[in-house]
Amino acid sequence: MNPLLSVNNLTTSFNLDDGDLYAVNGIDITLHQGEILAIVGESGSGKSVSLLSVMGLIPMPPGRIEEGEVLFEGKDLLKMSYREMCRIRGNEIAMIFQDPMTSLNPVMRIGDQIGEALMLHLNMTKTRARKRAVELLELVGIPDADRRTRDYPHQFSGGMRQRVMIAMALSCEPKIIIADEPTTALDVTIQTQIINLVKRLQSELGMSVVWISHDLGIVASIADRVAVMYAGKIVEKGTVDDIFYHPRHPYTLGLLKSIPRLDSDESGQLEEIPGHAHVCFDQPSHCSFANRCEFKTERCFQEIPILYETDIGRTRSACFHWSRLSENENV
Amino acid sequence: MKTSSLAFSENSEISIVSKKRKRKRRFNSGRVSGIAGCTIVTCLILAAIFAKQLSPYDPSSQSGKPFSPPSAEHLLGTNDIGQDILSELVYGARISLTIGIVASIVAMVIGTTVGLLAGYYPRVLGRVLMRFVDIILIIPFLPLLILLAAYLGRSLVYTVLIIGALIWAGTARVIRSQVLTIVKQDYVLAARTIGASDLHIIVLHILPQVLLLAVGQFVQATSGAILLEAALSFLGLGDPLQKSWGTVLYWAQVRGVFLTPAWKWWVLPPGMLISLAALGFALMGFALEQVINPRLKNNSK
């Protein structure tokens, strides 16, 4: 089956005063119809920038897409004209943002904001768009939707606003929804509601979702496949279960160890990954995680690892020493 | 737990009260000038609208002896050809105010458009436009105004366009700085992700947020536009068929009235009206500015 979206060798840099910052450094992502792909990584690992590049929303300059292609249904989004891109955004690929408190226009009625995309893409009249907005609000579980469409964003709570954002993203029934840490700004009970909502809608409407997050707990509960990013590169990818139970990259292992667990018998401190996240000025010449890695060898400082096949079915790991992780696991 | 929540609610109550009080004080300081300005402007506009009913004579026809001093028949006397000056001034309000207001509407449209574009595309277009704005701002107004008016000819439309073309720069600056902060808001990015074009974002998401600011600028610009119009007309560059307050002064000057006792009823009243109109709009603009301008709002907190 052809993937719905395939990103090949995407490289995005920012021209800053101190040199070129490579925020995304040759990543490959494939997304199939009806699948939820999670992209995981710590702050500054390039998760958001890679997906904004896909949407063509990197501010240029200083941003620049150095190379790569983004194939959506076989067409390269990076080569599309401004007008064609406007037709893709919202209509075929929609986005949900991290902070629902600031992502809605404070002086526009909710109904009008949801109707905006409908009027833009489906040429709906204002009345029809408003009617559809009510249906969408009902779909995302906002009670008294008819009256609420006439409210302004400040009359909604954070969780409700995120539901509105989801309704906006869904409005044109896009094939892909990119969710950029949509639960980070919400409290835990609301997080669960939003996750369940997205899962329900995803299975009902059959869209594909790219879920960006730094929270592995959330990823475990929602994703089908996971890609772990570090310093602008994908260091490991595979199915959720494989990644969580059989990590084959030391960075993923480190991330997993740093999650508090209810079921662990050991008491005491959480393990952390020593050092700081690597910032890529110019192209790296070796594994960018090497400085912080507990498995590092000479080779790690001389070569750049590619994504190797591993002993776990579909898992690919960008580590020369993935086999040592597998040995460790079996001990 | 209980005490902490109690303390919190008390605190928030206090802050609400003090906020209210502050808002009231700020409102009051602008209020006096606002009311004064509105009264002046309303009176003048009413006079202009009801010129026919208010003026005792037809301003263009001879209604008395030339150079007659104020009397019961002619409250402000007559001019050199026996036209009633009060009637001239009442009708002149139409011309002066219309030119002032229309010119600043022109300025508001140009200024807002330039400000929106410069703020939305700050890199290339914005830089070019703002340098242009700088140039407009440092050009000495009056000589350019005279040059343009002399070159283009004396007509109402040209006067409006010339004044409008010279006073938009301030508006453009204010609007641009506001647009620069709005563009960085998440909801603008969110609008982009739903496929909104730049034009759509500018018109639907940004323009409504700066509109109030533009209106404030418009009121302030009107004050300047009225003064500029008076200056132009006084120099004889206004439309000769449409007598404004400045034109009345121009004829007074041409007839050498400044050196005769007639200046008291021929020169003083139009001069005072011009100042009054400019003052009225300035006061209104001042009051509006206090409510609208985001920078003043932050300072008062």
Residue A219 lies in a domain: no
Across A112-126, A148-162, A312-326, B22-36, least confident range:
B22-36
Of A214, A242, A259, the last residue of a domain is: A214
Find the CB nearest B186 among A83, A86, A97.
Answer: A97
| Same domain flag for A187 and A233 | no
User: Do residues B34 and B287 make contact, with C-beta atoms less than 8 angstroms apart?
Assistant: yes
Angle (nearest 5°) at CA B216 between B210 and B219:
140
User: What is the pLDDT averaged over residues A286-310?
Assistant: 80
A242-281 tens-digit pLDDT? 888 888 888 888 888 777 766 665 666 777 777 776 666 7
From chain A, pick out residues whose CB is under 8 angstroms from the CB of B187: 102-106
| Same domain flag for A261 and A192 | no
Predicted local distance difference test score (pLDDT) of residue B186: 86
Residue A67 distance to chain B (closest CA, Å): 22
Residue B22 distance to chain A (closest CA, Å): 23
Domain span at residue A255 reads: 1-82+224-331
pTM: 0.79
Of A214, A246, A276, the last residue of a domain is: A214
| Same domain flag for A248 and A277 | yes
| Same domain flag for A179 and A133 | yes
**Residue in B194, B200, B201, B206 to test binding to A, most A beta-carbons within 10 Å:** B194
What letter would DSSP give residue A186? S
Of A214, A234, A254, the last residue of a domain is: A214
Give whole-number Cα distances, A294 to A122, A228, A233, A304, in Å.
Answer: 54, 18, 19, 17
From chain A, pick out residues whose CB is under 8 angstroms from the CB of B204: 108, 116
Find the CB nearest A90 among B185, B186, B195.
Answer: B195
Find the CB nearest A55 among B123, B193, B204.
Answer: B193
User: Do residues A232 and A43 make contact, with C-beta atoms less than 8 angstroms apart?
Assistant: no
Give whole-number Cα distances, B290 to A38, A319, B105, B277, in Å.
Answer: 49, 62, 21, 20
From chain B, pick out residues whose CB is under 8 angstroms from the CB of A156: none
Residue of B nearest to A174 (CA): B194
From chain B, pick out residues whose CB is under 8 angstroms from the CB of A121: 195
Find the CB nearest A86 among B186, B197, B205.
Answer: B197
Using the beta-carbon criterion (under 8 Å), do B194 and A99 form an inter-chain contact? no
**A145 has pLDDT over 50:** yes
Residue of A nearest to B194 (CA): A90
**A297 has pLDDT over 50:** yes
What is the domain count for chain A?
Answer: 2
User: Do residues B193 and A89 make contact, with C-beta atoms less than 8 angstroms apart?
Assistant: yes
**Residue in A105, A109, A166 to test binding to B, most B beta-carbons within 10 Å:** A105
Taking the C-alpha atoms of residue B145 and residue A35, their distance in angstroms, rounded to an integer, is 67
Q: What are the φ/ψ torsions at residue A15 (nearest 5 degrees)?
A: -85, 100
The domain B28-63+73-300: what is its CATH number? Answer: 1.10.3720.10
CATH assignment of the domain containing A164: 3.40.50.300
Mean pLDDT of chain A: 83
| Same domain flag for A149 and A260 | no
Please state the domain extents for chain B: 28-63+73-300
Residue A41 lies in a domain: yes
Give the count of Cβ contacts less than 8 A between chain A and B.
Answer: 66
Q: Which residues 36-55 in chain A show a CB within 8 A of chain B?
A: 55
Taking the C-alpha atoms of residue A298 and residue A303, their distance in angstroms, rounded to an integer, is 9
Find the CB nearest A95 among B193, B197, B209.
Answer: B193
User: Would you give per-residue pLDDT tens digits along chain B (301 residues)?
Assistant: 344 444 444 444 555 555 555 555 555 567 888 899 999 999 999 999 998 888 888 888 777 787 778 887 878 888 778 788 888 899 999 999 999 999 999 999 999 999 999 999 988 999 999 999 999 989 888 888 888 888 888 888 888 998 998 899 999 999 999 999 999 888 898 888 888 888 999 998 999 989 988 998 999 899 999 999 999 889 888 887 888 999 889 988 888 887 888 788 888 899 999 999 999 999 998 888 888 766 665 554 4
